Amino acid sequence: NPGKFQHLMEVAVEFVRDLAHEIIGHDSRRYVAMLGTLGISVAICNMLGLIPTFQTPTGHIQSTLGFAVAAFLYYNYQGVRHHGPLGYLKTFCGPMLLIAPLMFPVEIISNVFRLLSLSVRLYANMFVGELLEHVFAGLVPVAVPALMMGLHLFVSLIQAYIFMLLPAVYLSMAVAEEH
């Protein structure tokens, strides 16, 4: 007899499975565990700041960088696993061999900057959200902080969704087959 928590987790798994299938396509089920873990972990870390005297862990660059490194290593590993080491490096060369010397460094730099993009986006949003919450709590003690906490909850869930969505897109690009 499943309880409420099991129902909640089943909805979450179905959501992640559908998201992965839409973005990655065929054979996306193998990535659901990692994407779901990222999404749930980031959501929980984001919402911890709603508990009085707790800080939002993702309001610190170290934790967001840790999540970003995990996602970065995972999708690159899956790309190497899918294409082989040389085949994965070829995906950075572009569609034509003639422009490969130009495309390869641009694509490698772009791939590495995804780390920065993932970590700084989450960090900045959560840091500023928590900062605003503290500022408004000091100015108006009751009504405004309650509104800011509601906004914090909304932003926490949106940021967790984005942090799950972007690695799914990066995975789809890493394991894509040319047609």
Instruction: Please tell me the predicted confidence (pLDDT) of residue 179.
Output: 53
Query: What token pair was written down for 40?
Result: 């749930």
42 touches 167 (CB < 8 A): no
Q: Which amino acid is at 97?
A: L
Pick out the chain residues at pLDDT < 70. 179
Query: What token pair was written down for 120?
Result: 């700084």
Query: What token pair was written down for 132?
Result: 């605003």
CA gap 26, 49 in Å, rounded: 38
Instruction: Please tell me the predicted confidence (pLDDT) of residue 2.
Output: 85
Instruction: Please tell me the predicted confidence (pLDDT) of residue 34.
Output: 95
Instruction: Please tell me the predicted confidence (pLDDT) of residue 177.
Output: 82
Instruction: Please tell me the predicted confidence (pLDDT) of residue 71.
Output: 96
Instruction: Please tell me the predicted confidence (pLDDT) of residue 83.
Output: 94
The model's pLDDT over 31-54, given as tens digits with 9 standing for 90+, comes to 999 999 999 999 999 999 888 888
